[in-house]
Amino acid sequence: MSELGLFPLGMVLLPRERAPLHVFEPRYRELIGECLAEGREFGLLLGDDEGLREIGTRAAVIEVVDRFPDGRLNVVVEGRERFRLVELTDGRSFATADVEPIADEASVSEQEDRDRVLEVYRELAELVEAEVDEPGPDSELLSFEIAARVDFGAERKQALLELTSEAERLEVVRDLLRQAIEGIELERELAERSSLNGRGVPRRH
């Protein structure tokens, strides 16, 4: 168990995911400043109307993009290992807590399952005409790497973060990708129908 400085936000950072942060509150400028000076990590936790979540991700600052005269920072952070919040501690201007690491189950995902998820991911990328930024098929954390590339929303990412089976996470990610594809196809179908009148003829404007 170790003590970790916490940065609660309305977002979820997955292991291996990179994200920009604008650091403006004095207490978090202090936290990030210490992490930069000492090469330490901090804990990023989802905090919303439901409170502070128990499961979060250790984060490391990998790039300082901007330093402003008033002390504000624009940085890029990268998700590392997951942790479970054991007990909040005090004594600092920013939140701190004793935390413990979370390990995945010993079982690994099957290559067939990884290939299936990548196939659906490519299908989504083609549908939205996006350039495919594809993770390696042999990644032990393929579920997180794909989820970091698609905006599933904080709640769904948090649910993924809390699962300790890569095989189960891959199944969830595959379902989320399919839902995204179905949603886009339905939206386009409805848009096409709205541009036609009841006889299937383009509506005059």
pLDDT tens figures, 136-193? 877 889 999 999 999 899 999 999 999 999 999 999 999 999 999 999 988 888 887 8
Length reported for the chain = 205
Residue 128: predicted pLDDT: 84
Residue 199: predicted pLDDT: 55
Cα distance between residue 15 and residue 79, in whole Å = 4
Strand ranges (E), 90-123? 96-101
pLDDT tops 90 at residue 40: yes
Residue 200: predicted pLDDT: 54
pLDDT tops 80 at residue 129: yes
User: Please, what sign has the CA dihedral across residues 161, 163, 167, 170?
Assistant: negative
Cβ atoms within 10 Å, residue 17: 18
Provide the pLDDT confidence category of residue 130 given band limits of 50, 70 and 90. Answer: confident
CATH 2.30.130.40 in the chain: give the residue spans: 2-101
Provide the pLDDT confidence category of residue 123 given band limits of 50, 70 and 90. Answer: very high
pTM: 0.85
pLDDT tops 70 at residue 79: yes
Supply φ then ψ for residue 66, to 5 degrees: -140, 140
Residue 198: predicted pLDDT: 54
Rounded mean pLDDT of the chain? 90
Give the residues across from 23 on adjacent strands: 73
Cα distance between residue 185 and residue 28, in whole Å = 42
pLDDT tens figures, 84-115? 999 999 999 999 999 999 999 887 788 889 99
Residue 195: predicted pLDDT: 73
Among the four given CATH numbers 2.30.130.10, 3.30.450.40, 3.30.70.1290, 2.30.130.40, the one describing domain 2-101: 2.30.130.40
